[in-house]
Amino acid sequence: MEQVKLEVRKKKLIEVDGLKFKDLNANGKLDSYEDYRLDPVDRAKDLVSKMTLEEKAGMLMITTQNMGLSCDEKYRDQSGILNNEFKESKSNIFTDQKEYGNTRTIEELNMRHFILRENYKEDQIALWINKMNEVAEGTRLGIPVLIASNSRNENAEQTFGMNDAVGVFTTWPSTLGLAAAALGDKKNGGDYSIISEFAQCSKAEWNATGIRKGYMYMVDVVTDPRWQRIYGTFGENEELIADVARRLVKAFQGEKLNKESVALTTKHFPGGGARENGFDPHYKEGKFNVYQTEGSLGKYHLPPFKAAIDLGTSSIMPYYSIPSGEKSAYQAYMGQEVEFEDLGFAFNKYFIQDLLRKKMGFKGYVNSDSGIIDNMCWGVEDLDKVDRTAKAINNGVDIIADTNEVNLIIEAVKQGKISEERINEANIRLLIEMFSLGLFDDKTYVDVEKAKQIVANDDFLSKAHRAHQKSLVVLKNKEKVLPIKKGSKVYIEALHKDKEMAKKYTKNAYKDLKDFDNISLVENLEDADYAFVLIYPKSGNYFSATPGLLELELCEDKTNIASDGRAYKETTVSNIHRVKEISDKIHAKGGKLIVSVNTNLPWILSNVEKISDGLVASFETFVDAQMEVLTGIVRPSGLLPITLPASSKVIAVDKDGKCISPNDVPGYDKDKYMPKGMKYAYVDSEGNEYKMGFGLSY
């Protein structure tokens, strides 16, 4: 066997059989867990046999850690990159806990799994991860750290817990945009390989910086149009999403988890799309998954997870929700009835042990979603935190997310509520991943300069830009107004829920298109041949319920009725009246109106479609890429990955809380269940039906 290139910063190398190994426990001899010639399973078992209860407990929790760049200099280590600030209380939507800083969390809490949410440059990330591993190497057993992150390669407004980081790594359109591009490629005689290309480029960037674990991707099938998390999915076509899942696992992980892999956590099992009228389980109003249509769980929601499992996804993240037996119809999988128990999926023995592991064949580890012990402990609210922890681990969770309260695990073991055998099992599963990734061997540290060369290189940027072009979906082209004629004068205005953001988007659009040769930009509508209006709607809040149902119309100060019967105002786009004003003015002088709607939810477009000549759905699509399509430089090819509702009537909810269109069935299939004479999808003034898979070209 060839010598593996090893680097140590705190421990020493020893030589055995002519090869060098890391002496991670500094005992002067080669232990099995230090021997890279052995199988990861054997190494993991050996290491677990040497670990104390405290070290094992530390492995079973993962918490967010910030870099030193985010704190006052006085709290940084000598390198300036580690954050060693102690906070008596650090609150977020998931929990309220003490924050010990990087070094103490590694050395005293024995934690090794961390979530990076910050958005610093690639070389700074690489330096921080190296330093974290240097601290870890200096501990008793020298167990390295594994840094996880939510996705970083899709364009969006940066928001905690939704899009933690954006704009440093190569920026592609949203996952919905990637789905739109993939559907278009397939229709035009190709396949979904754009997903593979995206994943291969992204993997290289993650590897270069040392982020080796992805909390991604969402393979949830969109069935409830009001679910706030639709933006992060690949749409509503379960066959497409299953193919996407396979491609993502294969590209990021390889045929088998190895030293070049980025290990994935596929989420949110068994699918978060079956919401109860859109409310999300990040808050109590949305704590139930409801399957009111017989067979919907197995037909629509589980296939993408099965695809990821069959390709060997490293871990699975269950959602917070409770599967509602009371409100659900009969569900079966592989010919056997699905059992419903009023426990959130992270505490649900049937869904984790019986369905996920035994029936679906999952072999990896189960990573809970953030906050299940504290704020999102649905179904176990009456238990104390030690008992919640014990129930989650005993029923199948191997690592609990976004908490550092390792004392809960230690206490549960000491009280006999969790067996040490179960703790060992979870540790072995987690360590197999770390050994497979080479973190104990030659992949502990990364080359900082190489990270700068790989991240956002010209080749990756070019491929991402092509995906942006392909993501645009042309919905309406009245009297062939598109493509925009060469040399035309174009006025641009952006609208947003936040008026200041609208000004920023307008300014950026002019900046992005200032060197665009095919058109002439004008700043006065009176001078324009075309008005191009970019709309960026926002509705509700990811972490809290709206007073009533989530609003999908493009509206300002619309009167809605809250669940308690009171009236309240809702705005998804400030100054939405400007679209009508611009339409009237541009049409009065013989010009045309083109509207682009950023489609992060299935918006109801009647307020803008009727008065526009051209209408497109964008998916966090760069403005210059949009204009390249609108002017005909690039032929439009994107197709809708979700169905857009006809009106508020087709998603109306009755007094008993039941939606007129089933919330567990994708939009493309909802017509099977609609009242006689009612159609779910929007039909525009040109007769186009805005159904999943629709898109015009020219």
The reported pLDDT for the residue numbered 161 is: 60
153-167, 217-231, 349-363, 642-656: range with lowest mean pLDDT: 153-167
Q: What is the mean pLDDT of residues 87-115?
A: 89
User: Phi and psi at residue 553, in whole multiples of 5°?
Assistant: -80, 150
Output DSSP code: residue 318: E
313: pLDDT confidence band, cut at 50, 70 and 90?
Answer: very high
98-102, 111-115, 421-425, 614-618: range with lowest mean pLDDT: 98-102
**149: pLDDT strictly greater than 90:** yes
Look up residue 316 and give its two tokens: 């699975």
The reported pLDDT for the residue numbered 543 is: 85
The reported pLDDT for the residue numbered 160 is: 65
541: pLDDT confidence band, cut at 50, 70 and 90?
Answer: confident
CA–CA distances in Å: residue 356 to residues 290, 308, 525: 19, 12, 58
pLDDT in tens, 334-367: 999 999 999 999 999 999 999 999 999 999 999 9
* Amino acid code (one letter) for 469: Q
Q: What is the mean pLDDT of residues 549-577?
A: 96
Closest-CA residue to 220 (of 159, 163, 179): 179
Q: What is the mean pLDDT of residues 490-499?
A: 98
Question: CA-to-CA distance for 376 and 367, rounded, in angstroms?
Answer: 15
DSSP states along 588-599: HTT-EEEEEEE-
Question: CA-to-CA distance for 379 and 342, rounded, in angstroms?
Answer: 6
Q: How many CA atoms lie within 13 A of 285 on its CB side?
A: 19
Contact between residue 150 and residue 119 where contact means Cβ atoms under 8 Å apart: no
**689: pLDDT strictly greater than 90:** yes
Contact between residue 121 and residue 70 where contact means Cβ atoms under 8 Å apart: no
- From start to end of 379-523, where are the E strands? 399-401, 473-477, 489-496, 520-522
- Cis check for the bond before 547: say yes or no (omega within 30 of 0): no
pLDDT in tens, 184-209: 999 999 999 999 999 999 999 999 99
Number of helices and strands in the chain (H, E): 19, 24
More confident residue, 489 or 96: 489
The reported pLDDT for the residue numbered 162 is: 61
